[in-house]
Amino acid sequence: MGARENPCQFQIVNHYERIATAIRHLDEHRGEQPDLASLAALVGLSPSHFHRMFSTWAGATPKDFLQCLTLRHAKDLLKRGESVLDASLEAGLSGPGRLHDLCVTLEAATPGEIKSRGEGLAIRAGVARSPFGNCLLGETPRGICHLSFFDGPERANAADELRHDWPLAEISWDDSFAESLAERVFSQSTPGRSWNLHVKGTAFQLRVWRALLEIPPGTLASYGRIAALAGNPNASRATGSAVGSNAISFLIPCHRVIRETGISGHYRWGAVRKRAILAWEAGRVSG
């Protein structure tokens, strides 16, 4: 297809929409401790079917998942994340872990590529399913350059974000390619994979994004801690801006950064989705 054609011609449906509905309900009614039957009825499933679907998706039961959404749990993860980071850095290690044992390499766009706005750059992109709803992926010959989540009405906006980052690039839309890439990105069964990410940012943004890669799955770090890792401990606000500018979700785990209070804060792809990813990771790490 041509570079300007609509990349999103079909409807993607998976369990995430039901999970997101349950998360919103749990957030709004946490103090009431909603039971299994009420959650199942909310999403139109029997209690047994909902329990099975939820546990398979989240790696935790609905009851355990509720615990993963509490402020106390977030604060515990925050403390654990910062202590693990400190220990690894004191030992001279580059970091305590990678997402699913991944080796992620950031390759920055050259000043010439930034100035040319992607002219002459070929990007293969498409829409795919993910555990967290619809996603749009883009890849250049040098690595993944875009991974964003979106909900149904936001498809055109997701494609526009990719075009905004690389306005003069030649984009070819291939949903089959995106589905295959998404399966590998979100797979839980193939440790030791490596990914090259082709990113475009300032020197400070690159330091922040590299710092994000030091946060192991199942733990969290504060904006202040990431600012320190990026070499400017007094730049929490600028760090927050750099975190929010990340165009490659999940693989550069900006979802693992929260406020010092334990509140999850803003997330470019939605607060509910951020909480879902964090609880999904926590369930798999603890499991």
* Active site amino acids: 254
Dihedral pair phi/psi, residue 201, rounded to 5°: -170, 175
Give CA–CA dist 275/195, Å, rounded. 24
Q: Where are the beta strands (DSSP E) in the chain?
A: 103-108, 122-130, 133-140, 143-150, 170-173, 194-199, 221-222, 257-258
Helix (H) or strand (E) run with residue 90 in it = helix 71-90
DSSP state, residue 248 = B
Residue 69 near residue 20 (C-beta atoms within 8 A): no
| 162: its two tokens | 């990719």
| 112: its two tokens | 């010439």
User: Cα-atom radius of gyration of the chain, to the nearest Å?
Assistant: 19
Q: Which of 275, 283, 287 lies closest to 19, judged by CA?
A: 275
Give CA–CA dist 165/171, Å, rounded. 12
DSSP state, residue 30 = G
